[in-house]
Amino acid sequence: MKPYKLMLAGSLLFLFPVIFTGCGTPASPNDSVLEIASKKVSEAKNIEADAVYETGVVSEVNGEKSPELLMTLNMHFTMFDNPVKSKISSTLSSSLGTSSNLQEYTLEQNGIFVKFFYMDTAPQNHWEKQSVCKADDKSAKDKVQKLDPKIFMNHDYPYERQKDAEEDGKTYQVYTCSMTSEMIVKLVKGTALGTQSITNDELLTEIADSADDMGFSLWIDPEKEELYRVKVSLKEINNKILENPKLEKLPEGFSGREYTKADLDIRYRNYNKAEDFTLPEEALKAKEIPIS
């Protein structure tokens, strides 16, 4: 089997940090539109988001370097606070012509948050479920709601105002900010699908602490006074994870692997107007997957 085909089997779906070198005008969450947008994020009871995560990976197998493997993960998120629950619909496609779809629901059952997921590609062509954490766990919400917009707002790092951006004839206010280690950890863990996860928070935090300055940009809709878009790259942290055998083991035959890009683009919408959902009936018979 050629290296680039082996690569697909060994790939994990992590996330990604852009290092902002340009100077901007210092801003604060206490500044007008940014302050209002931050408050709306904090008070939102439900929200929807569409995200695109594009990665490129080059592998070395038996001394032979593979062509760059490109993967695109399209995700639609729905998150609710009362009760806390989430739904993710995803499609993963690659430059090899492969494609798969995933449905993921996380909600509380008998005091435990349980994740239900279905992927339409073999061998996982059936519903499975896995316990996430106890409902009274202080970090339960972080574990249930991936890419919650609160990750990017309401922290003490200074925001810098950048040049406005336009999309579809509309102008948005753009800000950049550095990421804390806590944010990086949430993003890396929050982009794993199905049973993929990194449970060693302490080691992951240590790696995040050692990373160079990593940042993100956010777009504020000045008319609605809402957070609209977030763009971030975690290429650096992904590569640091690949370099650490305690967190990521190379598949058999691989001698190296490196991310060439890892770009996430999230658009938030329907503040307090998200479409509600219930667990599909067929998911009730899901097979239990033990936590590794």
* pLDDT level of residue 20 (50, 70, 90 thresholds): very low
Q: Where are the beta strands (DSSP E) in 21-161?
A: 25-27, 46-61, 64-65, 69-81, 84-94, 99-109, 112-119, 127-134, 159-161
Residue 154: per-residue pLDDT: 65
Residue 29: per-residue pLDDT: 45
Which tokens belong to 33?
A: 């539109």
- Write down the mean pLDDT value for the chain: 82
91 touches 73 (CB < 8 A): yes
Residue 15: per-residue pLDDT: 34
Q: Rounded to an integer, what distance in angstroms lies between the CA atom of residue 110 and that of residue 100?
A: 32
Q: Rounded to an integer, what distance in angstroms lies between the CA atom of residue 228 and that of residue 267?
A: 6
Checking if the pLDDT of 16 tops 60, the result is: no
Q: Rounded to an integer, what distance in angstroms lies between the CA atom of residue 237 and that of residue 170?
A: 33
Can you give the length of the chain in residues? 292
Looking at residue 211, the DSSP 8-state letter turns out to be S
* pLDDT level of residue 192 (50, 70, 90 thresholds): low
Query: Per-residue pLDDT tens for 102-150?
Result: 999 999 999 999 999 998 875 666 899 999 888 888 777 777 888 889 8
* β-pair partners for 69: 57
Provide the terminal-to-terminal Cα distance of the chain, rounded to the nearest Å: 29
Q: Rounded to an integer, what distance in angstroms lies between the CA atom of residue 269 and that of residue 178?
A: 24
pLDDT average, residue stretch 216-224 = 95
Residue 180 backbone dihedrals phi, psi, to 5 degrees: -80, 165
Residue 2: per-residue pLDDT: 41
> Parallel, antiparallel, or unpaired: how do β-strands 287-288 and 127-134 relate?
parallel
Residue 162: per-residue pLDDT: 95
271 touches 79 (CB < 8 A): no
Domain topology for 3-272 = outer membrane lipoprotein receptor (LolB), chain A (2.50.20)
Which of 74-88, 210-224, 236-250 is modeled with the greatest confidence?
74-88
Distances in Å between the Cα of 116 and the Cα atoms of 49, 73, 78, 79, 138 are 19, 19, 15, 15, 21
Among the listed ranges 78-87, 152-161, 171-180, 222-231, which one has the minimum average pLDDT value? 152-161
Q: pTM of the entire structure?
A: 0.83
